[in-house]
Structure 1
Amino acid sequence: MRAHDNVIDAEPVTASAVSRLWIPGAGLGFLGVLAFSFSLPANKLAVAGIDPLGVTVLRAAAAGVLAAGYLLAVRARLPRWSDLRDLGLSSLGVVIGFPLFSSLALTTSGSGHSAVILGLLPALTAVFAALVGGERLPRGFWLASGAGVLVLVGYLLVHQYLETGDLSVGIGDFWMLAAAASAGYGYAMGGRQAKVMGGARAISWSLVIVLPVSAPIAAVVFATQSFDFTTGVVIGMLYITVISQFLGFFAWYGGLARGGIARVGQLQQVQPLLTLAWAALILGEDFDPWTIVVGVAIAGLVWAAQRARFAAAPGVEAVVAAPDAAAAALRTEGQAIDVHAAH
Structure 2
Amino acid sequence: MKRHRDETLGMWLGVLGVAFFAVTLPMTRLATGTQADPQLSPWFVTLGRAALAGVLSTTFLVVTRAPRPQPNHWRPLGMAVLGNAIGYPLLLAYALRVVSASHAAVITALLPLVTAACAAWVLHQRARLGFWLCAVAGSTLVVVFSLLRASGHGTGFGFEWADLLLVGAVFAASLGYIYGAQVTPALGAERVICWVCVLALPVTLPGTIVLWPREPVAASAWVGFVYVGVFSMWMGFFAWYRGLAMGGALRVSQTQLLQPFLSILAAMPLLGEPLDIVTLGFAAAVVATVIAGKRLSQPATPAALAPASR
- TM-score category, normalised to shorter length: 0.7 to 0.9
**Are 1:202 and 2:192 an aligned pair?**
yes
* Distance in 1 between residues matched to 2:132 and 2:93, nearest whole Å: 30
Q: Distance in 1 between matches of 2:282 and 2:101?
A: 19
Q: State the alpha-carbon separation in 2 of the partners of residues 311 and 186 from structure 1.
A: 25
The answer for the alignment partner of 2:105 in structure 1 is 115
Change (3 A) 1:186 1:259: farther
Sequence identity of aligned pairs in percent?
37
Q: Which residue of 65, 69, 81 corresponds with 2:71? A: 81
1-structure distance, mates of 2:287, 2:159: 28
Provide the rounded CA distance (Å) in 1 between the counterparts of 2:186 and 2:95: 34
Match of 1:232 among 220, 239, 242: 220
Match of 2:21 in 1: 36
Letter in 2 for 1:138: R
Name which of 20, 29, 32 aligns with 1:47: 32
**Which residue of 239, 246, 256 maps to 2:234?**
246
Instruction: Describe the shift of the 1:249–1:164 C-alpha distance in structure 2 as closer, same or farther (beyond 3 A).
Output: farther
Look up the equivalent residue of 2:32 and give its one-letter code: V
Range that drifts further, 117-126 or 34-43: 117-126
Q: Distance in 2 between matches of 1:113 and 1:200?
A: 31
Give the TM-score normalised by structure 2.
0.77
Q: 2:56 matched to which residue of 1? A: 66
C-alpha change, 1:309 and 1:202, in structure 2 (3 Å) is closer
Counterpart of 2:90, as a letter, is: L
Q: Measure the CA separation in 2 of the matches of 1:282 and 1:164.
A: 26
SS of corresponding position for 2:211: helix
1:276 pairs with 253, 260, 264, which one? 264
| Length, aligned pairs only | 289
Q: Matched residues in 2 for 1:173 and 1:302: separation?
A: 19
What is the aligned counterpart of 1:126 among 106, 116, 126?
116
My pick for the range that moved more, 245-254 or 175-184, is 245-254
* Distance in 2 (alpha carbons) for counterparts of 1:293 and 1:174: 21
The normalised TM-score by structure 1 is: 0.70
Following the alignment from structure 2 to structure 1, what is the Cα–Cα distance between the partners of residues 290 and 177? Answer: 18
Query: Per the alignment, do residues 250 and 152 of structure 1 end up closer, same or farther by CA in structure 2, a change over 3 Å counting?
Result: farther
Equivalence for 1:286: 274
The answer as to whether partners of 2:29 and 2:101 remain within 8 angstroms in 1 is yes
Partners in 1 of 2:134 and 2:230 — Cα distance? 34
Partners of 2:216 and 2:176 in 1: how far apart?
31
The yes-or-no answer on 1:213 pairing with 2:198 is: no
Q: Is the 8 A contact 1:276 1:287 kept in 2?
A: yes
**More displaced 10-residue stretch of structure 1: 198-207 or 106-115:** 106-115
Whether the 8 Å CA contact 2:127–2:297 is kept in 1: the answer is: no
User: Which segments of 5 or more consecutive residues in structure 2 lack a partner in the other structure?
Assistant: 1-6, 34-38, 301-310
**Alpha-carbon shift at residue 262 of structure 1 (Å):** 10
1:16-74 deviation per Cα after TM superposition (whole angstroms, max 9, x unaligned): xxxxxx99987655443221111111001001221111111111111100011111121
Q: Is the 8 A contact 1:152 1:298 kept in 2?
A: yes
1:326 maps to which residue? none
Instruction: Verify the 8 A CA contact 1:198 1:254 in the aligned structure 2.
Output: no
Cα distance between partner residues in 2 of 1:253 and 1:78: 20
Counterpart Cα distance in 1 of 2:153 and 2:102: 11
| C-alpha separation in 2, matches of 1:257 and 1:131 | 25
AA aligned opposite 2:127: L
Q: Secondary structure in 1 aligned to 2:60?
A: helix
The CA deviation string for residues 84-110 of structure 1, in whole angstroms up to 9 with x for no partner, is: 111111011010111111111122222
Query: What is the correspondence of 1:154-193 to structure 2 with a 5 Å cutoff?
Result: 168-193=158-183
- Report the Cα distance in structure 2 between the residues aligned to 1:148 and 1:25, rounded to whole angstroms: 29
- 2-side partners of 1:274 and 1:99: how far apart? 19
Compared with structure 1, are the counterparts of its residues 282 and 109 closer, same or farther at alpha carbon in structure 2 (3 Å cutoff)? same
Q: Give the counterpart letter for 2:76 in structure 1.
A: D
Give, in angstroms, the shift of residue 269 of structure 1: 4.7
1:274-320 superposed Cα distances (whole Å, 9 cap, x missing partner) = 222211222111203566666666666555444447349xxxxxxxx
2:304 aligned partner = none
Structure 1 residue 143, shift from structure 2 partner: 4.3
Quick check: 1:103 aligned with 2:93?
A: yes
Distance in 2, matches of 1:280 and 1:160, equals 22
